[in-house]
């Protein structure tokens, strides 16, 4: 055999022998490395950052952090002879003790896990001294969310322990079991801003787990960074007044500042006290709230969908004007025989038709829009007209999410051609099949937020800023908002707005009338196949340089002019004047009994 090959093989063997001998020396003979290792077990200690605070528009604190204490247990170090002592201190039964202990043991026998969470400050103070010398138990300070007011639960949302499925979905590997995460509302939508950044401190511990000191003098540590504070657009005072007015009712209030898109008030009624979801009794309270038949967790302003009803006549007018199917002053004679109507027969122009909510006028106008005569075949003609109509309606922010900065917004629905093709067959439908859309009924669905935004569009005469609840994050960096154009001549808006003003002064919204405050609005009585109709109102004020646009829905409260109109007018007055001049209207709304007989001067 080649001698060089032999030399090479010998080299391999020698190399391995040298390595093995060296390993023998450092692993078996030399003790210094074992000692170094014992002094060199490094524990990562997570330092939790403070979650950002949330304030209202004027800086009033809405959410802050409260210190709580978690009692941690290391199962391996527990001596069960201490169990009665622990049970007495925490006032828990032996069974609860065992349940908590076994749960911790299942997670890990050597790592600490929560034995009893969220001890209050007082409770902590009372047991602190007694618990320190019980082996296996330690106290870990932490913060929990605390809500300064009972208001605004559906905007703020709440935080909760991160779930197993969220942990799996977390590709950034940020969250760990036991971490808190925003579950709904602003807490969820702005989670990334609010949560801050966790810090890590490296501590040297000996084999028994006793902390010897900061590792490397803290050179590798990272400090926790507090989350950013968030300033909402909500005016707490107006919000609280709105919540008071909605007490005992089911429905929504959304008030928007038209020139910015800032949401001033956002009520989903009934709601819940956000503090219920931050304490020890979270699960108990949560299931109670969740099982409530009136669904307090259902965020009505952005999730409930209703047909728009008569409010939609404002859009019908503008689309018809845009399509040149009606003139601004054109009068149309209405017999009142085409569709059920409360408005008397006579000559109507747009302003008058809106004032008296003439169904027949809008029936005729909508027919002109749908059947424009583009095609000899009236079915094909209806398709073309409908498509044009629909594209204008979508420009009002309907049929899709507006993009509010809250999770789970619903789209509403403006049906496309396919919907009718499915119902009637392709080229088997025309105006006569879809005429109920003319008065905002039929297959249309909108959210209260979309209607408040309609108020904004009318107030601005043709554009809106995307409605939002957060004004600024951190040090006043305000969030730029899109200006969305509807694409309709502002001059067309004036005839509609004139009509809306008269709705309040002489029409169905008379209850909302305030002599020195020109409110423009439109009432809706939303047909409800399941019971009493819903009462709806959409409007803005003052007529010139509007400061507030508003939509109110009160479920099963009948006529739009009453519950919703009265509530809206009180909120408008509160916002603009700062006080209420009509205590009787306030008393009427607070009493909440709207289902009495119909006065003859109220029509819809």
Partner 1 sequence: MRDQLTNRIDWLLIFIYLILVMAGWVNIYAADFDLESTKSIFSLSQSSGRQLLWIVSSIVLIIIIFAIDYRFFESFAYLVYGISILLLVAVLLLGREVAGSTSWFEIGSFKLQPSEFAKIATAIGLSKFFSSASRKVSDNKDLLISSLIFIVPICLIVLQGDTGTALVYTAFVLVLFREGMSPTILMVALGGIAVFILTLLVNQVVLVIGIIVVALIAAGIMARNIRNGLIIGAVAIATIGIVISVDFVLNEVLKPHQQKRVMSLINPNADPLGVGWNVTQSKIAIGSGGFSGKGFLNGTQTKFDFVPEQTTDFIFCTIGEEHGWIGSTIVLILFAVLLIRITVIAERQKSDFVRVYGYSVFAILFFHFAINVAMTIGLFPVVGIPLPFFSYGGSSLWTFTILLFILLKLDSHRMELLQRW
Q: Which is nearer to partner 1, 81 or 173 (CB)?
A: 173
- CA-to-CA distance for 593 and 249, rounded, in angstroms? 10
Which one, of 505, 422, 440, 405, lies nearest residue 184 by Cα?
Answer: 405
Binding mask 87-126 vs partner 1 (x if CB under 8 A, - otherwise)? ---------------------x--x---------------
413, β-bridge pairs: 445
Which one, of 33, 31, 128, lies nearest residue 71 by Cα?
Answer: 128
Residue 374 touching partner 1 (CB under 8 A): no
Q: Which is nearer to partner 1, 40 or 287 (CB)?
A: 40
Residue 210 touching partner 1 (CB under 8 A): no
Tell me if 144 sits within 8 A of 66, measured CB to CB.
Answer: yes
Q: Which is nearer to partner 1, 38 or 283 (CB)?
A: 38
Q: Which is nearer to partner 1, 13 or 587 (CB)?
A: 13
Residue 48 touching partner 1 (CB under 8 A): no
Beta strands in 224-270 (DSSP E): 230-232, 251-257, 262-269
Q: Which is nearer to partner 1, 21 or 125 (CB)?
A: 21
State the minimum distance, in angstroms, from the CB of residue 46 to partner 1.
9
Residue 293 touching partner 1 (CB under 8 A): no
Residue 4 touching partner 1 (CB under 8 A): yes
Tell me if 414 sits within 8 A of 444, measured CB to CB.
Answer: yes
- CA-to-CA distance for 92 and 495, rounded, in angstroms? 70
Q: Which two tokens stand for residue 41?
A: 């077990």
Tell me if 252 sits within 8 A of 268, measured CB to CB.
Answer: yes
Q: Which is nearer to partner 1, 34 or 197 (CB)?
A: 34
Binding residues for partner 1, total number by CB under 8 A: 40
Residue 213 touching partner 1 (CB under 8 A): no
- Output DSSP code: residue 27: I
Of residues 134-173, those binding partner 1 (CB under 8 A):
171, 173
Residue 16 touching partner 1 (CB under 8 A): yes
Q: Which is nearer to partner 1, 19 or 58 (CB)?
A: 19
Residue 44 touching partner 1 (CB under 8 A): yes
Which one, of 216, 205, 225, lies nearest residue 45 by Cα?
Answer: 205
**Within 13 Å and on the Cβ side, how many CA atoms surround 193?**
19
Q: Which is nearer to partner 1, 173 or 600 (CB)?
A: 173
Taking CB under 8 A as the criterion, the residue among 58, 220, 333, 374 binding partner 1 is 220
- CA-to-CA distance for 26 and 198, rounded, in angstroms? 38
Residue 174 touching partner 1 (CB under 8 A): no
User: Residues, the chain, total?
Assistant: 604
State the minimum distance, in angstroms, from the CB of residue 465 to partner 1.
39
Taking CB under 8 A as the criterion, the residue among 48, 50, 202, 424 binding partner 1 is 202
Cα distances from 323 to residues 84, 88, 312, 492, in angstroms, run 81, 78, 17, 11
The per-type count for the chain, helices as H runs and strands as E runs, is 22, 21
Of residues 24-43, those binding partner 1 (CB under 8 A):
24, 26-28, 30, 32-34, 36-38, 40-42
Return the range that interacts with partner 1 (CB under 8 A); candidates 23-31, 81-89, 128-136, 496-504.
23-31
Backbone angles phi, psi at 275, to 5 degrees: -65, -20
Residue 222 touching partner 1 (CB under 8 A): no
**Within 13 Å and on the Cβ side, how many CA atoms surround 28?**
6
Tell me if 269 sits within 8 A of 256, measured CB to CB.
Answer: no
Binding site for partner 1 (CB under 8 A): 1-2, 4-5, 8-9, 12-13, 15-16, 18-20, 22-24, 26-28, 30, 32-34, 36-38, 40-42, 44, 108, 111, 171, 173, 176-177, 202, 216, 219-220
């Amino acid at each position: 055999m080649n001698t060089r090959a032999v030399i090479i093989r010998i080299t391999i063997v020698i190399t391995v022998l040298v390595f093995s001998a060296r390993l023998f020396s450092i692993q078996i003979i030399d003790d210094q490395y074992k000692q170094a290792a014992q002094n060199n077990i490094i524990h990562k200690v997570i330092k939790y950052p403070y979650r950002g605070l949330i304030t209202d528009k004027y800086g009033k604190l809405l959410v802050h952090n409260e210190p709580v204490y978690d009692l941690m247990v290391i199962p391996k170090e527990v001596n069960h002879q201490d169990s009665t002592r622990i049970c007495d201190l925490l006032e828990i039964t032996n069974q609860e003790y065992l349940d908590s202990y076994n749960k911790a043991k299942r997670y890990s026998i050597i790592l600490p896990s929560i034995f009893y969470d969220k001890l209050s400050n007082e409770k902590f103070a009372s047991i602190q001294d007694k618990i320190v010398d019980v082996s296996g138990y330690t106290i870990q300070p932490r913060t929990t969310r605390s809500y300064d007011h009972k208001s605004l639960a559906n905007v703020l949302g709440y935080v909760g322990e991160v779930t197993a499925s969220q942990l799996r979905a977390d590709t950034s590997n940020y969250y760990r079991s036991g971490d808190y995460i925003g579950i709904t509302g602003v807490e969820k939508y702005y989670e990334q801003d609010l949560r801050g950044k966790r810090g890590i401190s490296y501590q040297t511990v000996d084999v028994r787990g006793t902390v010897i000191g900061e590792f490397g003098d803290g050179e590798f540590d990272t400090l926790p960074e507090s989350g950013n504070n968030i300033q909402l657009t909500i005016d707490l005072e107006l919000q609280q007044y709105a919540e008071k007015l909605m007490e005992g009712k089911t429905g929504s209030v959304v008030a928007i500042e038209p020139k910015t898109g800032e949401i001033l008030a956002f009520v989903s009624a009934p709601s819940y006290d956000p503090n219920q979801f931050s304490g020890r009794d979270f699960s108990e309270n949560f299931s109670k709230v969740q099982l409530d038949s009136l669904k307090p967790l259902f965020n009505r302003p952005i999730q409930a969908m209703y047909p728009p009803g008569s409010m939609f006549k404002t859009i019908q007018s503008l689309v018809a004007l845009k399509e040149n199917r009606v003139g601004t002053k054109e009068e149309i004679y209405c017999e009142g025989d085409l569709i059920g109507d409360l408005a008397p027969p006579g000559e109507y122009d747009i302003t008058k038709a809106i004032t008296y909510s003439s169904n027949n006028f809008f029936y005729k106008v909508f027919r002109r829009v749908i059947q424009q005569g583009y095609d000899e075949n009236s079915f094909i003609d209806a398709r073309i007209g409908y498509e044009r109509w629909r594209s204008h309606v979508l420009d009002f922010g309907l049929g899709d999410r507006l993009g509010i900065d809250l999770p789970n917004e619903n789209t509403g629905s403006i049906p496309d051609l396919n919907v009718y093709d499915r119902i009637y067959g392709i080229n088997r439908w025309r105006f006569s099949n879809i005429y109920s859309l003319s008065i905002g009924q039929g297959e249309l669905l909108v959210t209260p937020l979309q209607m408040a935004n309609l108020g904004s569009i009318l107030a601005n005469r043709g554009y809106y800023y995307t409605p939002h609840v957060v004004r600024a994050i951190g040090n006043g960096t305000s969030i730029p908002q899109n200006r969305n154009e509807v694409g309709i001549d502002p001059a067309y808006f004036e005839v509609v707005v004139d009509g809306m003003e008269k709705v309040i002064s002489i029409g169905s919204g008379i209850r909302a009338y305030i002599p020195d405050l020109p409110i423009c609005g439109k009432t809706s009585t939303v047909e409800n196949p399941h019971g009493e109709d819903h009462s709806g109102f959409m409007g803005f004020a003052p007529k010139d340089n509007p400061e507030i646009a508003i939509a109110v829905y009160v479920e099963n409260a009948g006529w739009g002019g009453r519950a919703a109109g009265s509530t809206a007018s009180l909120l408008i007055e509160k916002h603009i004047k700062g006080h209420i001049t009509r205590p009787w209207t306030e008393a009427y709304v607070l009493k909440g009994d709207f289902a009495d007989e119909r006065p003859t001067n109220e029509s819809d």
